[in-house]
Structure 1
């Protein structure tokens, strides 16, 4: 999916591209269409999932579509309430970035700093206000902020606001806004009190849950590398030399792939062993014991051969080939990070495996972090390599002139 598929307008697409984002994250894919439709939404998502853009982009689009030349300066039409000044500053920075090619303006207000510069900007008028609850109510009380024109209210990091004791302030702010507005609530977790708040503030909200599914090991940090298919072996060697520490279990899809990789790693001086279905049980057991006891640092396996392998002291898993079934991915990475230890899972994805990554991310509800700093990056526009079968250069059913002449005719 691309940002274009989310029906965003050109000025926003241009800003997103300039920021270097190629594809929307899970939370963006699910939230943006609903926010654009004007629905109230409750989203549970961790930080780092791209949720600011999930509300910033659709809010900017809605404001852009309904711009009118103000007679008396701009009115605040979108309000984002955030628990801390750091988060508020970050959110407003995002709004500024995405609004670069529009004439929509935003301002952030928070306590602990001089109130005068904030008042000066408010007097000129802004479209979007990002605020911490205390300073917002303070400025409202002094009549510098008018919330009568709010069309969209966003409560970000609602569970953190609850922990910080802002719940009454939030309810008060909500009452100061018009009854007919769109409300969006974002929270990493949805405890009972947040559920309660949502029920009082939101109207028939749509729910979006992008918290990792329970099946994904919590103690495994994941990393994804986009790489051309023909450079996978080079990247694998690069990771083994520079990034991966400790032992590593490498998964390949085929037995042939396992053998080929083992051969290359041995040539490059790595202590390596492999297991797959064509090897006798005794050989597989020996390879496994050597790996468990630390004589061999690298073990390469197919999924079938890896069933039932139990290695407590496994530091890393490397998906050389992306599995086409999400459960297989979960099964693979779940072999590390056991018994309270942390583990790392690396994955290499070529152009023809991008769909597998999407399916996996949708199934596990996790946006796998992408590492771009490596020597063999994949061109984002690269298309999968399609191997065409070479047919005969002669057209079927056509005989050459010479062969026709050689034939003795029966007539």
Structure 2
């Protein structure tokens, strides 16, 4: 049985059937939609350029043809490990031999007065976008709280749709928790050039509304008042670990799993945003909120259930689309002690490499696929590369990767 309707759940189901599992297979999902991908929600789908059906990993017929029982619009409420059952809403119970928890995550709530006014939104699922999209009307004002990737992607979409977008960030720079000052400066400049009002070191004090309960004003901590027809909150997420925790499964900012996605209960697995896993290329554990992680852990859990060899664990990778900028990230830059910039940010095509003790641990590549692809391999091999070589654009990334492999 698989709990969840996102990337990890869909991948686990597909990998089990493709791997030869011919037993009963049930997917329990809280949403009404078939399992679907989340990344387009803050980009093409928000803009109306992406039909809902294109979000689905597989059409309904695939699940029918592969004998997958879909239990949608239904929440799992408890896991009973002793008799290996999952309780679901309205009093039902489902049996399992092996269980994969892929319940994802949820947005952090905005802890201020006015957070429950109409037209104050988070952006996490299809229902969120269906509520937000009709309000995205040219000329309106949108205030976005949080300058992470979701907040900046939404700001780019809003600006392109003709809204007046303001982004509020408490930290001294955008993307402060996930990247370097080099990338922060680039994105701040780009958004300002596009007309977005970026305000760092700024906090929101409260939201005010109209008589009918719709948000109308955002009051900042310094007393500044902004027009706000829409407020979008993007201040981070929390793992949906409660089902596991209540069942006595080990959790710590995520459901703790081993390299095979197995929890402290050998019959229960966890994958995706809700899981805290060993990060084998970086010598520590943690959660990864990414498509790569969901796909990989879905495959790992399926392989373990099938008794097959563990799939190769890839270098973590991520991406973000803003305007005509494709950011591709490989590795994890936390703990870097040196940054090497390859190319010129003013050309809107460059890469920032992150090294620790001379070893490449991550790259942020803007419109630079070769830097991204080569770096994935270099990071996995633990390559040590001279900063001068990385910065030298006369040497191709293919050459750099080849020399590092031969060393």
Structure 2 length-normalised TM: 0.27
Q: What is the TM-score of this pair, normalised by structure 1?
A: 0.27
Greater Rg, structure 1 or structure 2?
1
RCO comparison, higher one (Cα < 8 Å, 6+): 1
Which structure has the highest helix share of the two?
1
Return the structure number with greater strand share. 2
